[in-house]
């Protein structure tokens, strides 16, 4: 997969800034779900970006919901940064704020 970002260092800069915010709030950076022993995440590396892809456009909403569910479980109450490509948002919609609040 290629980086489609017009500023190649932007993702790394965002990660660095988010880590600094975590430290400022007294959170332990890098304390992922594995520290809690959650076996559901065993195949996934911690502290990295993961991409999920739908087999067909009709499956995109389900894949998005699965990703949000996994992110919420991994975050354990911490804030989540959710990136969504604009074309994907146009084709499958964006997560619904009030619905996310209920999760």
Q: pLDDT tens, 37-55?
A: 556 666 676 666 677 888 8
Q: Left (φ > 0), alpha (ψ -120 to 50) or beta: where does 9 sit?
A: alpha
Q: What is the pLDDT of residues 8-46, one digit of tens each?
A: 687 788 878 878 877 777 655 555 555 455 566 666 766
Residue 72 has pLDDT above 60, yes or no: yes
Nearest to 71 by CA among 28, 40, 93, 25: 40
Assign 98 a pLDDT band (cuts: 50, 70, 90).
confident
User: Per-domain residue ranges for the chain?
Assistant: 31-102
pLDDT at 1: 43
Distance CA 19, CA 81 (A): 12
């Amino acid at each position: 997969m290629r980086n489609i970002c017009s500023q190649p260092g932007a993702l790394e800069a965002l990660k660095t800034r988010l880590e600094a915010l975590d430290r400022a709030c007294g959170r332990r950076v890098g304390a992922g779900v594995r520290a809690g022993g959650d076996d559901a995440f065993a195949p996934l590396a911690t502290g990295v970006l993961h991409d999920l892809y739908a087999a067909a456009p009709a499956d995109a909403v389900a894949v998005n919901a699965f990703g949000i569910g996994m992110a919420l479980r991994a975050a354990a109450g911490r804030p989540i940064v959710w990136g969504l490509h604009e074309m994907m948002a146009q084709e499958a919609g964006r997560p619904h704020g009030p619905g996310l609040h209920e999760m």
